[in-house]
A and B are shown apart, each in its own frame.
Chain A
Amino acid sequence: MVTTMNTLNTNINLSNLKETLTDTFSAVELPNGCIKSENNTDSLGMQAKAVTDNILYFRVESDRIEPICTYIHKEWGYQLVLMFANDENEDELGTDLGYGLYYVFADKEYRILVTIKTVIGAAKPEVQSLSHTIQAAAGYEREIQDLFGIVPIGHPDAKRLVFHSNWPQGIYPLRKTFDVRSKLPMAKEEIRFRKVEGEGVFEIPVGPVHAGIIEPGHFRFSVAGEPIINLEAQLYYVHKGIEKLAEGQTLEKGLYLSERISGDETFANSLAYCQAIETISGSNVPERAEYMRVLFAELERLTSHLGDLGGVCLDAAYGFATFQFRMMRGWAYALADELCGMRFLRSVNTLGGMRKDFVKGKEASLIRQLEQIRSELEDTVSIVKSNSLFTDRVENTGILATPIAIDLNAVGPGGRASGVGYDVRRWFPYAAYDKLEVQIPEHNNGDINCRFNIKIEECFESIRLMVQAIETMPAGPVLEPITHVKPYHFAFGITEAPRGENIHWLMTGKNNTIYRYKIRTPSFCNWPALCYAVNGNIIPDFPLINKSFNLSYAGNDL
């Protein structure tokens, strides 16, 4: 499947792509970066930075959505990486009023992002579902249905996603008419789960409060004896309404909200947010800040991966290795403390650069500590790898097959362990990643062992990148403050979080506020993949498989 995609792609270039979409589907190309074309020259007199030419927006009628998306996905092999809606019913937005629906496709090899936009009238909020042809669309369509009330017609399983039984029917919080402070009465709907029936088949409900110190989520297993036949995960227990909370807030407050999307991905999220605003404002981040961002992003990845490795060992009852990894994670936290005083790298990023020069004068100490973690990691890995009991447990357990990983757009270590060799740092480089050489490990078996190995190799790579960033970091300022941005402009922010590709889309409103903030973290893509990976495995292996993905509930539920 991967090879066919590649051969298809080689024939496409940008002009060819534009021509096909405009001629065949009468799509209209929209200006990149702002909602009204006449609004291009803005009162603030700022010149929009030419964003990469490879980000394209097209507008089509809603009845052409299904054929055009199917064409892009099937004929060109582009992945659906994001789909979201936007309430564009405000008069100030021009004449094209309604709910904007955006379908974002990526050509990961040729670094092209194509966004297809359609506008749905508020009178009849419905759209043809794509889930039959593009499996990755299923989750997005359910999310949009819950938050905007746009019905996906023909969706195979359009049950509620974000809201549980307590949310009243017919109320959609991301519509502009909904007040964020509303406290609604508790409704009593029924939640139905997929039923597996047959002799000896029974259900095991788990959660939302789990046995370990982890986030809440409900898992409904259908099992026959020990092996799992089906797993349905009900998430969104930690849904806090972040996207709605951000609307109408200042850009500054948005930054602090973005830092609190998912605790251990603080830096990746705040970086994506800053990136989006820096693109809109057209400002250039100082080079030293770009290198510092690489340093912090890799430190976050290292910390996160060390925790995951320890977690897998803990769930395999391998105490020695668990405490080795936890010790190293403790060192990584101490490093963060020394750098910026914040273990979770909060208040480090700021719009236009870094809050302070955190690295100056600490270079030698940083390199020494990184070297200590590296040599300890080497020792530990060689001990763990020679333990056949452990390897036996993780090998061929929880396999995520490559075709499923591709169909569901599995990202990050979860995807790379199944042969999807995609990493934002290489394909859509940001910060200073284009100046550093990033090695992307790739494994193909898709089992826990592969994910474990990917994370080990990425730990070494992160340490190498950090040392390289410290050594090659130029001197100079670290902040070019951003105070004003143009209203009704939008941009993407794409980063590689520890768990994978992280896409934010931000549109500004009047007076430097946020009009719409769409967040898609890697966990949203990988949760459905996890539900496939457990099939056929025994129940006691579920915690192990879950830990090998280590997805964020908060990052998914928002």
Chain B
Amino acid sequence: MFNTLKKIIQYPRLTQEYPKIINSTANFIGQPVIHPERCCFCGACAQRCPSQAIAFDGAARRIGINYDQCVFCVLCEDVCQSGAIRMTHCFELAERSRAKLRPDGSVLTESAAAEPNTADAKPTLVIHEADVPAMADEALTGELKKHIMKVFGRSLQIREVDSGSCNACDYEINALNNPVNDIERLGISFVASPRHADMLLVTGTATRNMQQALVKTYQATPDPKLVVAVGACACSGGIFRDSYATNNGIDSLIPVDVYIPGCPPRPQAIIYGILKALERVE
């Protein structure tokens, strides 16, 4: 008992004060950024990108990164001969719409050669008409949602759903509870059931075997609710896009409020995304 008490008071506060203080000294790998003015438009990065995240049009001399697909693997920086691609330390990447994560601002116009089927690819799950999370319902609760946001802007209950990740995102979400991040200091806690939750934190591609469970979990969460997609898989399918067993992003099944890119996103990037959903950060 004495040793336990001694240990408890041994260390000063370990918790990092994000988002009050941004710990920018670390040398971690964050967002890759393309400087088109330096680009020689050889197309090597777009060709070798493992998740086809680089939107490239050599003829029109346009290039950009779809951050919802990017797996932050550093390969583009390594293959770029003209030094046009640089990895930065930026991790605050979460956005309210997927279009904002794309250079041309559009989710549907993807490089046509790589994606012949996406335009008419529909979610494969057979959901009963009445079961589909209706947009009308969303609109009805919109006003209420704004009001409630003010209320649960201070406290939030989260249910995490893994819909087919590699478990790295889940470990990062787990790390939100460790002494370094301690998300409870922000009034945010994780609950055991979707019935108790205000927010679903979804990781993974919504695999064929998980999609029904994901929709059911969504339906079990009381309105108004928020959905945050964590990681490249949940945003767009990531490296597992276009497989017989996956969907290209969870937004083909349920409406998403905030997308957090990353593979996996760092715990602080997840905190940023959650706070963004709560409109507590800009």
Contact = CB atoms under 8 A, between A and B. Distances in A.
Contacts of A183: 121, 124, 244
Contacts of B175: 329-330, 333
A7 interface: no
Contacts of A185: 124, 126
B99 interface: no
Nearest to A321: B4
A318 to B, nearest CB: 10
Interface stretch (B58-66, B100-108, B207-215, B273-281): B207-215
A510 interface: no
Contacts of B110: none
Contacts of A242: 240
Contacts of A180: 242-244
B178 A326 contact: yes
A266 B208 contact: no
Contacts of B7: 320, 324, 379-380, 383
Contacts of A344: 168, 171, 264
B165 interface: yes
A209 B194 contact: yes
B5 to A, nearest CB: 9
Chain A's interface: helix, strand, loop or mixed, by majority? loop
B244 A341 contact: no
Given A238-B165, A238-B207, A337-B28, A215 B170 contact: yes
Interface string A306-339: 0100000000000010011011011001000110
Contact of B207 (A239, A250, A253): A239
Given A263-B168, A263-B171, A347-B74, A182 B244 contact: yes
Contact of B239 (A214, A215, A244, A257): A257
A215 B73 contact: no
Given A337-B26, A344-B264, A266 B73 contact: no
Interface residues of B, number: 69
B164 A327 contact: no
Contacts of A346: 72-73, 263
B260 to A, nearest CB: 15
B46 to A, nearest CB: 13
Interface string B126-137: 100000000000
A221 B153 CA distance: 40
B71 interface: yes
A517 interface: no
A256 B171 CA distance: 19
Contacts of A208: 210, 213
Contacts of B213: 208-209, 216, 237
B204 interface: yes
B209 A383 contact: no
B180 interface: yes
A186 interface: yes
A213 B173 contact: yes
A300 to B, nearest CB: 12
A243 to B, nearest CB: 10
Interface stretch (B35-43, B143-151, B155-163): B155-163
Interface in B236-258: 238-240, 242-246
Interface of B: 3-4, 7-8, 11, 14, 26-29, 48, 50-51, 71-75, 78, 117, 121, 124-126, 159-175, 177-180, 190, 192-194, 204-205, 207-210, 212-213, 217, 238-240, 242-246, 263-264, 266
Interface of A: 163-164, 166-167, 173, 178-186, 208-209, 211-216, 236-242, 244-245, 250, 252-253, 256-257, 260-264, 266, 307, 320, 323-324, 326-327, 329-330, 333, 337-338, 341-344, 346-347, 355, 379-380, 382-383, 386, 552-554
What 4 A-B pairs are tightest by C-beta distance, nearest first?
Answer: A263-B168, A211-B192, A256-B50, A341-B29
Given A209-B194, A253-B50, A343-B266, 20 more contacts: A166-B209, A185-B126, A186-B124, A211-B193, A213-B170, A216-B162, A239-B164, A240-B207, A240-B243, A260-B239, A261-B166, A343-B264, A346-B72, A347-B75, A379-B3, A383-B4, A386-B3, A553-B167, A554-B165, A554-B167
16 contacts: A164-B209, A166-B208, A238-B165, A241-B243, A244-B243, A262-B166, A262-B167, A264-B167, A264-B171, A320-B8, A327-B178, A338-B26, A344-B171, A379-B3, A554-B166, A554-B167
